Structures are given as C-alpha cells and as structure tokens.
Amino acid sequence: MLRAAVLGSPVAHSLSPVLHSAAYAALGLSEWSYGLREVTEAELGSVVAGLDETWRGLSLTMPLKEVAFEVATTVSDVARDAGAVNTLVRRGDGGWDAHNTDVTGIVRAVEHVGHGGSAVVLGSGATARSAALAVVELGVRDVVVAARNAQAAAEVVDLLARHDVRARHVPLGTWADARPALVVSALAPAASEVVAESAQCADLSGTTLLDVVYADWPTPLARAVTTAGGAVVSGLDMLVHQAAEQFRLFTGHEPPVEVMLAAAREQVGS
C-alpha cells in the first residue's frame, strides 16, 4: 500500500481525503490510500521522521505551512517565495521535497478571468503571499494589497516588487475603491463580514472575486460582491486544483480534475 495524508490542526474538517480518494478510485489506483492526522507544529518533525517508505506524499494545512521548511530536504522556488509549504513529496533517498500548490490552485481557478493587468489581494498572511505569486503568473503587473497588518502587507508588496510588479498597501476597508477587475481574498472566514461592508456602496460590475474560503458558501464577502454587480469564484475551485497538483506530484498520474470537483461539490452540498 502506498500512503498519503493531510496533516494539520485542526484537520477533521479537511476535504482532502475526499478529493484524493475520488481520484484514486477514478483511475483504479487501488494500491493508494489517503488519510488525515492531527499534527501540531511541535509534532511535525517527529511525525515525518517516523513515516516509513510506504508514505509518498503529505498535504499540509495550518499551522504547518511555515514549520514544514524545517523538515524539507529541498524547497521549490515557489514555496520559498511564498514562505509557505503545503506539500511534501517523498524523495528516492527518503527525504522530502517541499512544494506550494496553492499558487497553482489560484491560477487554475481564475485563469479564465480577464484582469486588465491589475488586481487586489485581500490579506497579508501565507495564503496572501501565494495569491500574490499567482497573480504574477497570470500576468498582472499592478497590485493593491489591502490588509490590516501594515508590516505583513509590506512583505507582500516587497515580494511583488521582486517580480517586477508595481504594488502598494492600502487599508483593508478601502479595497473596493480600486475598482479592480480581479480580487483574490485570502482572508479568514471571520474577516469576511467586515470586509463585505466595503463592497456595499461600490460598483463592482466587471469585478471577479475569488474567495479562498469554501465552507458556508457563499461567504458574506461573496454575497456583497454579487450584490454590487460582480462575479464570484468559490474557494472550492482553488481547493480542488491545488489538490489535483498534489495528486500529480504524489502519484505521477494526470489528475481527474472534474471527478475531484464533483466529489467536492457533493461533499459540501453545492
């Protein structure tokens, strides 16, 4: 049996087992299994060290995305730039290669959306850094980073500048003033209602929002953007696409994305 799993704390809510297991079934990969395990930052090193050669891949959720650098043998350029690892892939020598598939997930979720060269990123944490790299890959060259934490936002701005993107920080409550064509919200669910207030008096026709949150959809922010004339993309699309890239890295097989998306939608009832 070849094994993979999602690690994090809390992790019981994760849809990753549903997505990966659906892909295994679709491709007849009966030798693969995918589980979940509650693991804290302090435990990650010992847990990874204790995995035998049957373990081929690990999906990492919060709070493990930064401490994972400590257990990695190699780190991809994307993961290093983002300052976040969400994927560990077993090497032939027993070590682990660290990747960030959140960037790919965001790109795939909104690559069909026109952006006119500009975008807004909401937030300043690890997912916001991934969002910043994603919009760079999409060809955006002018980015507004709207966040409460000015110091963390400055790090996102600096990251964008290193990729020759013009970027600036604005207060979180003013994000809608930019009249963006593309918005990626990397905010936690608790912040959605507060940020939604900024959209209530805005004209967001021509704006598309990707909200990385997928639970309890639509979020208050997604509802507000829709009411203001904009379009929304659920975080479920990002989740599936980042999981599909993990599946490719773990198994070497092309992921059945539509099967994974259908499984996700069935699980959340959308």
- Which residues are part of the catalytic machinery? 65
Task: Enter the tokens of residue 2.
Answer: 């070849």
How far apart CA 36 and CA 14 sit, in angstroms, is 8
Report the run of H or E that residue 267 belongs to, with start and end.
Answer: helix 257-268
In b/e form, how buried is each residue of 59-95, taking b as 16+ CB within 10 angstroms? bbbbebbebbeebbeebbebbebbbbbbbbbbeeeee
Closest by CA position to 142, among listed 182, 172, 106, 102: 182
Report the run of H or E that residue 89 belongs to, with start and end.
Answer: strand 87-90
| Amino acid identity, position 267 | Q
How far apart CA 267 and CA 259 sit, in angstroms, is 12
CB distance 48 to 96 below 8 Å: yes
Phi, psi of 184 (to 5 degrees): -115, 115
